[in-house]
Structure formats: structure tokens, C-alpha cells
Amino acid sequence: MSASDTATYYMVEMDYPHETAAERERFDAYYWRHIDMLLTIPGFMTAQRFYCADTDRAPFLALYRLAGPEVLTSDAYTSKAGRMSVHPDFRAYISGWDRNLVQGPAGSGAPDLATAMGDTITLIDRLTPDSAPLPDRIIPLEVIGLDRTIAQRGVAENGAAELPQPADGWSVRVWQPIHALRRPG
């Protein structure tokens, strides 16, 4: 396998506080259009949004698989996307907004984070470099760019039943898809 077979993900976490169902629907409709726009950018391969009800951090996650890290420095991306591309009506209410660029093990193509509706994905974050290392059964995702708000992220391959006991300095969150995996086109 070549380096291009290395899984690269752009992960955006945020909270968008809303008090009514209408406010949530308005945000969801906006975000659907935002994903449509991102999927027109060469190198954005997939998009999926998630929700985590049991977190003291941002409860929404947007997960984008990229052809490689260079996608986020391309003219196609920088000319119409990024933090400032979010409409000011929404940007003003977003909190806990973290963007991390991560990669799986070099040349493996793993992990495939596409998650079927009704399933979940479990992410384990090492919050600082001093946090306990992730166990071998957790696929490591190296943080390679953007906000770098975590030291390392890992994904549990076999779901919540196989989770290790949380260690000091870890955040373990189970995410549910809001919508099915989307692809360009």
C-alpha cells in the first residue's frame, strides 16, 4: 500500500445550543447545505454527522474522510470553506468548536469510520501527551493538524462491548449517526 492509502479524517466537534425543535431543524437544514458544499471540493470523499448525548464536551461531530491532508490547504478548499465559511447567523451561536485533522496507521487504509444508522462509533481521546497510552486493540489516529485540541484519538473496532476501562486523561464518547454516510454527487 502507498501513503495515499492512509485514512485521513477532518473531524469537527461543536455545540449548537438550541431551545426549540424549530431552531434545531434550522441548524440541521443549514448544515445539510454546508455538507453539500464541502462534498463539491476535490478530495472530500465522505461526510457524516454524529451526536453524543453523554458528554461534557461538544455533542455534535462532523466527520469527513479526505483523500489526504493537502485537501485542507488546496485553493478549492481555502476559497470557499474553513471556519469563516459558516454563516454568521450560525457561527455566533456555535461553542466548543474544535477541528482536528487525524490519520490512521500509515498505508493501511484503516480505519473506515463510516457508521450505519442504528450503529455507533466509539472514540477515545488522549487529552494530553501525559495521558495513559491507548491499548493495542484501539486503532490509533494521529493528530496531524488544525486545532490539535487532543494529543491522540483512537477508535474502538468492535464497538462499546470491547471498550477498555477509561484511564486518567482520557475522554471516551459513543457517537450515534444523525444521517447516513454521504458521498460527492
Q: Domain 3-177, what fold?
A: Alpha-Beta Plaits (3.30.70)
Are 14 and 93 contacting, i.e. CB atoms less than 8 angstroms apart? no
Q: How does pLDDT run across 73-110, given as a tens digit for each residue?
A: 999 999 999 878 888 877 888 888 999 999 999 988 88
| Distance (Å, whole) CA 124 – CA 119 | 17
Q: Where are the beta strands (DSSP E) in the chain?
A: 8-15, 44-51, 60-66, 95-103, 121-126, 138-146, 152-156, 170-177
pTM of the model: 0.91
Tens digit of each residue's pLDDT (9 = 90 or more) over 139-181: 999 999 999 999 999 998 655 556 767 788 999 999 999 999 9
CA angle 119, 40, 16 (to 5 degrees): 55
Every domain of the chain and the residues it spans: 3-177
